[in-house]
Amino acid sequence: MSDERQEPRRWPRDGEASPLVGVLCGSTSDLPVMQQATAILERFGIPHEISVLSAHRNPDLVDEYARTADERGMACIICGAGMANHLAGAVAARTALPVIGVPLAGSKLGGVDALYSTVQMPKGVPVATVAIDGAVNAAILAAQIIAVGDPDVRAKLHEFKDSLAEGFRP
């Protein structure tokens, strides 16, 4: 393990240009929902990237993405996919970063298929699963993870929570 990994992690790191949150979707057809997550990350000023990578169609690229996310400076990864969703689980199997899964509707089963395949992870490989099409909450949860080490994001989250109490709906 490198020295850097043994130090308490703070975000953003000095001079860091790389994204803190990686948003993955299983298909371009998932983009309209998953772009709701990137809109929230924009709102909180969190550097991020969005990519289309499928656990079934591009398994080698998913493997590489997940294995290198930590060294690229990411803090967490959001994975949204529909049908027999294995994207979040495949990523979680290959990284120690927190992985947030977004089961997506759109199949004939209305997303229950993706919900079960995302949330029912075996012991040792957790995926923090949000609601079906819950991309907004996935991004807020990612911001909350980052806020542990970032006072600016924490302040923005407090403002956001206050706006909810005043009736704002993201």
Rule CB under 6 A: which residues touch ligand RP5?
Answer: 26-27, 29-30, 54, 81-83, 104, 106
Q: CA–CA separation, 111 vs 103, rounded Å?
A: 6
> Residue 117 or residue 137: which is nearer to ligand RP5 going by CB?
117
> Residue 82 or residue 101: which is nearer to ligand RP5 going by CB?
82
The nearest distance, CB 94 to ligand RP5, in angstroms, is 18
The nearest distance, CB 10 to ligand RP5, in angstroms, is 33
> Residue 133 or residue 150: which is nearer to ligand RP5 going by CB?
133
SS3 assignment, position 54: coil
Spatial CB neighbours of 74, under 8 Å, sequence gap ≥ 6:
18, 19, 20, 21, 22, 97
Q: In this structure, are residues 49 and 23 in contact, taking their beta carbons and an 8 Å threshold?
A: yes
The nearest distance, CB 80 to ligand RP5, in angstroms, is 7
> Residue 27 or residue 38: which is nearer to ligand RP5 going by CB?
27
The nearest distance, CB 83 to ligand RP5, in angstroms, is 4
Q: In this structure, are residues 48 and 69 in contact, taking their beta carbons and an 8 Å threshold?
A: no
| C-alpha dihedral (145, 41, 29, 92), degrees to nearest 10 | -20
User: Which amino acid, residue 159?
Assistant: E
